[in-house]
Amino acid sequence: MNDNGNLDDSSNAIVYIIDDDAAVLDSISILLKSIGIQNKTYASANAFLDDYVAADFEKQEGCIVLDIRMPGINGMECQTRLNALNNALPIVIVTGHGDVPMAIQAMKNGAFDFMEKPFREQTLLTSVQKAIDKSIQTHHQLEHIAHSQANIASLTHRELETLTCVVDGKSNKAIADELNISERTVEVHRANLMEKMEASSLAHLIRLYLDVYQNT
């Protein structure tokens, strides 16, 4: 495994390049290095998967550039194993002309993009940058959801019941009747909800709630 490139201050993104062709590894690595993208190269899927299991990849921003045809574990099997590990890094498939049907299947299995060898440098750079952008967006979204989960965990049992009722569209009176409390108490709970959830409006509060429970 070789580490290459230097990080831009605005991103910790890493591109993981997996290909059994040393010339391909070197050319892609040098290309990415030339525009300041950090990357790591692997001569086999086996080596990458060994690193993946040991590393904290769910916190990493970046993408994977994965060759289809390799000895041992091929690109398709590697993708399958990564899916089983709940990999969130976008995968860009690199394929020879005869492997296009497999590349299309990889796309159906969740790959971000695929390109045929030989490819233009700019085509690869464009695909990789879009994959990194998606990874960063996903990473930020997961951080946002984790923050909202922590906020929900800070709610009292009664505040959580009130929140559930609010999301269901119930009025203060209906909530008071259901929870057997006064409307004034409901108002206090709602005010606490807005503060603890860091919500700027009722719509924002509901969105924060849905972001958590629709993604867990």
Residue 9 has pLDDT above 50, yes or no: no
- For 17-36, b/e burial (b = at least 16 CB within 10 A) is bbbbeeebbeebbebbeeee
pLDDT digits (tens, 9 = 90+) for 91-143: 999 987 777 788 888 888 899 999 888 889 999 999 999 999 999 998 888 88
- The Cβ of residue 136 has, within 10 Å, a number of other Cβ atoms equal to 16
Determine which of 4-8, 38-42, 185-189 has the lowest per-residue pLDDT on average.
4-8
Whether 58 has a pLDDT exceeding 90, the answer reads no
> Is the per-residue pLDDT at 4 higher than 60?
no
pLDDT of residue 214: 80
Strands across the sheet containing 14-18: 2-4, 38-42, 14-18, 62-67, 91-95, 113-116
Identity (one letter) of the amino acid at 168? D
Q: Are strands 14-18 and 38-42 parallel, antiparallel or unpaired?
A: parallel
Instruction: Give CA separation, 127 vs 49, 124, 180, in Å.
Output: 23, 5, 57
pLDDT of 216 reads 58
* pLDDT of 131: 95
